[in-house]
Structure 1
Amino acid sequence: MKAIMYVAHGSRLPEKNREFRHFVEQIMQKRPESCQKIAFLEKEDETMAIIGESIIAAGAKEITVVPMLLFPAMHATKDIPDQVAQLKKQHPDVVFRIADTFGAEQEVAAVAAAKIKATRPDQDAAILVIAHGSASYAEPRTEMQTVTASIATQLQLPVALGMLHGEPNYRTIATELAAKHENVHWMPYFLFQGQLVDKIRAGISEISGTQWHEADSLDLDTAMITAVIRKITEVTP
C-alpha cells in the first residue's frame, strides 16, 4: 500500500493548525492514496515518529513524505530526513520518498503577486517581499530571488527582497526603500499570518519616512495546491 505523510511545522495557535489541516485535506482529496496523514514538527502528540508508525501499522509499504514548507532550510534538509532515517531504521522493508518544498513554484509566486496587486501600488511605489530566510542555508535566498523576479514580471514593477533571518536583512532593505519612496508596499512571504509575521510588522512599524502598505501573506491560498501536488507527483511512481 502507498501512503502520504504531510509534515507541517505546526503553530502554537490551535486555530492555525486547524486552518492548515483544512488546507492539507483539500490536497488529500486530489490524491488516490487511501492512507494520508498529517504530522507536525512542533506538536508532541502528532510527531513524524508517531504518525509514521501509525501509517506503517495500517499496512503502508511505500510512504511519500511531503514537507509542507516553502523552502529547503533546517527543517527540510535535516530535521525531516533525520526523522525519516529513524523510521527507515525501524522498518527497513518500507520505501520512503521525500518530496521537495514548494515555495518557488509558479503558483505560489502568482498568489504573492495577486496579494501585492490587491494593495494597488502605483508606478512610483516600492515593493518589498519578506521571507523567513536562513542564516545557515543559501537555498532559501536563491529560490526567493527567483520568486521576486517572477513577481516583478507579473506586476511590471521592481521588487526588493528582504529576509527575517540571514541576508539581505529585511530591516536594512526596508530602511533603504523608505529613504527613497513615499509609499512602500510589503508582503510577508509566509504560508499564513502568525507570530513571525507579527514580529516583522513590529520591525517595519519602527522605520519612518514612508507610508507602509501591508499585503496579505500567502494565507494558505488554495491556488497553491497544484504546486504541492506537483511536488508529490515528481517523487511518487
Structure 2
Amino acid sequence: MRAIMYVAHGSRLPEKNREFRCFVEQIMQQRPETHQKIAFLEKEDETMALVGETLMEAGASEITVIPMLLFPAMHATKDIPEQVIALKKAHPDVTFQIADTFGAEEETIAVAASRIKAASPAKSAAILVIAHGSATYHEPRIQMQRVAEKLSAELGNPVTLGMLHGEPNYRQVATELAATNDNIYWMPYFLFTGQLVDKIRAGITEVSEHTPNTTWHETNCLELDSSLAPAVLRKITEVSQ
C-alpha cells in the first residue's frame, strides 16, 4: 500500500499550523491514497518518525515523502533525508521516495506575480523579492535567480533578489536599490507570514529610516494560496512514477 507523508517545517504559532493543515488537506483530497498524513520538523508530537510509524502500522509498504518547502536547503537536503534513512533502517522492507521542493514551479511564480500585481506598482517602481536563502546551500539562490527573471518578464518591471540568509543579503540590496529608486515594492517569497517575515519587515523598516527619500511598499506573501496545490501534486507524480 502506498502512503504519503507531507513534511512541513512547523510554526510556534498554533494558528499557522492549522492554516498549513487546511492547505495540505486540499492537496490530499486530490490524491487517491487512503493514508496521507502531515509531519512537522519542529513539532514533537508529529515528527517524521512518529508519523512514519503510524503509516506503516496502517499497512504502508511504500511512503512518498513530500517536503512542503519552497527550496532545497538544509531541511530538504539534510534533515528530511536523514529522517528517511532512520525510518528505512528500522523498516528495510518499506520503500521511500522523497519529492522535490516546489518554490520554482510555474504555479508558485504565478502566485508571487499576482501578489505583486495586486499592489499596483508603477512601471517605474523597483521590485525586491526576498526569500529565505541559505549561507550553506547554493541551489536556493540559483533557483530564486531564475524565479526573479521570470517574475521580471511577467511583471514588466526589473525584479531584484534579496536573501534573509546568504547572498545577496536583502538589507544590502535594499539599501543599494534605495540609492537609485524612490519607489520600491518588496515581496516576502514565503509560504506564509511568520517570524521570519517579521524579521525581514523589521530590517526593511530600519533601512527605510536611513532612506527617507524612498517610499517602501510591502506586498503579501504566497499565503498558502490554493493555486499552489498543482505544483505540489506535480512533485508527487514525478517522484511516484
The reply to whether TM is greater than 0.5 is yes
- Counterpart in 1 of 2:158? 158
How many Å separate the matches in 2 of 1:156 and 1:123?
Answer: 7
The number of residues matched between the two structures is: 237
Long gaps (5+) in structure 2 = none
Deviation at 1:176, TM superposition (A): 0.7
- Counterpart in 2 of 1:117? 117
Correspondences of 1:17-32 after superposition (within 5 Å): 17-32=17-32
Deviation at 1:179, TM superposition (A): 1.1
* Corresponding position: 1:217 with 2:221: yes
> Structure 1: which 4+ aligned runs deviate by more than 2 Å?
none
* Corresponding position: 1:99 with 2:103: no
Deviation at 1:229, TM superposition (A): 0.2
Long gaps (5+) in structure 1 = none
Deviation at 1:203, TM superposition (A): 0.4
- Counterpart in 1 of 2:64? 64
How many Å separate the matches in 2 of 1:69 and 1:85?
Answer: 19
- Counterpart in 2 of 1:232? 236
Deviation at 1:82, TM superposition (A): 0.3
- Secondary structure of 1:157's aligned partner: coil
Deviation at 1:197, TM superposition (A): 0.3
- Counterpart in 2 of 1:5? 5
Q: Read off the aligned partner of 1:70 and give its amino acid letter.
A: L
Question: Pairwise CA RMSD of aligned residues?
Answer: 0.5
How many Å separate the matches in 1 of 2:120 and 2:178?
Answer: 18
How many Å separate the matches in 1 of 2:91 and 2:17?
Answer: 29
Q: Read off the aligned partner of 2:23 and give its amino acid letter.
A: F
How many Å separate the matches in 2 of 1:149 and 1:221?
Answer: 22
How many Å separate the matches in 1 of 2:104 and 2:163?
Answer: 15
Deviation at 1:123, TM superposition (A): 1.2
- Secondary structure of 1:124's aligned partner: coil
Provide, for residues 124-143 of structure 1, a one-character-per-residue CA deviation record: whole Å limited to 9, x for no partner: 10000000000000000000
Provide, for residues 137-180 of structure 1, a one-character-per-residue CA deviation record: whole Å limited to 9, x for no partner: 00000000011111111101100000000000000000011111
- Counterpart in 2 of 1:127? 127
- Counterpart in 2 of 1:44? 44
How many Å separate the matches in 2 of 1:218 and 1:197?
Answer: 12
- Secondary structure of 2:110's aligned partner: helix
- Counterpart in 2 of 1:182? 182
Provide, for residues 11-69 of structure 1, a one-character-per-residue CA deviation record: whole Å limited to 9, x for no partner: 00000000000000000000000000000000000000000000000000010000000
- Secondary structure of 2:207's aligned partner: coil
TM-score (normalised: structure 1): 0.99
**Percent identity over the alignment?**
71
